[in-house]
Amino acid sequence: MRILRADGRVAVPWRNGGGLTREVAAHPPDAGWDAFAWRVSLAEVTRDGPYSPLPGVRRILTVVAGAGLELTVDGAPHRLPGRHRPFAFSGAAATDSRLLDGPVVNLNVMVREGRTAAGVEMVRGSREVTGPGTTVVVAVDGDARLLGGGAGEPGVRLGRYDAAVLEPADVGAAPVLLRTDGVAALIGLSDVNGPAGAGR
């Protein structure tokens, strides 16, 4: 199990100056924009503006802090008020973003179409992580703890925006229990030719 602390991430400015992005995890590690199979990041959005086009990429965006935003995807508006509501769309689509009431933080999951499938579940309380693919857990509101399986004893604590990457070997015969006093994102990732995403 890889534990990825929030305070170790590097902030990268957007090309259009509208915010900052911090990569949480990617596969292969350190892969560039043209090479990743999947990528998970947190973005601080401070102003309205267009998204960079990403042909061949499927995106799942979840507002995790702030009042929400409105995305216009290929001319169709999608209002995302509040937090913790995953929204999937094509990276190739012409996409504009409008803040509803001040800055937001978005959890972004990107997967290469035809190579990786992804699912995002927002967990409150407890949830078993059972595999069979890769699972990324991100504590997005409050603390979370991973217990049992590859977490060892007495488990692993995740503070806000800390993350853990679990592979099938970390789960093994005994599933890992995710327990949160707030909200955590459970991101299941799998090869499109393999079994369904982890944690789903």
Average pLDDT over residues 89-118: 96
Which domains does the chain show, CATH number per domain?
9-112 (2.60.120.10), 116-191 (2.60.120.10)
**What is the pTM (predicted TM-score) of this model?**
0.91
pLDDT of residue 199 exceeding 60: no
The predicted structure's pLDDT at residue 195 = 45
Q: Chain-wide mean pLDDT for the chain?
A: 89
pLDDT of residue 170 exceeding 80: no
112 and 75 Cβ atoms separated by less than 8 Å: no
pLDDT band at residue 154 using 50, 70 and 90 as cut-offs: confident
Other CB atoms within 10 A of residue 122 CB: 18
What does the radius of gyration of the chain's CA atoms come to, in whole angstroms?
16
pLDDT of residue 197 exceeding 90: no
pLDDT of residue 38 exceeding 90: yes
137 and 146 Cβ atoms separated by less than 8 Å: yes
The predicted structure's pLDDT at residue 144 = 97
The predicted structure's pLDDT at residue 102 = 94
pLDDT above 70 as % of the chain: 91
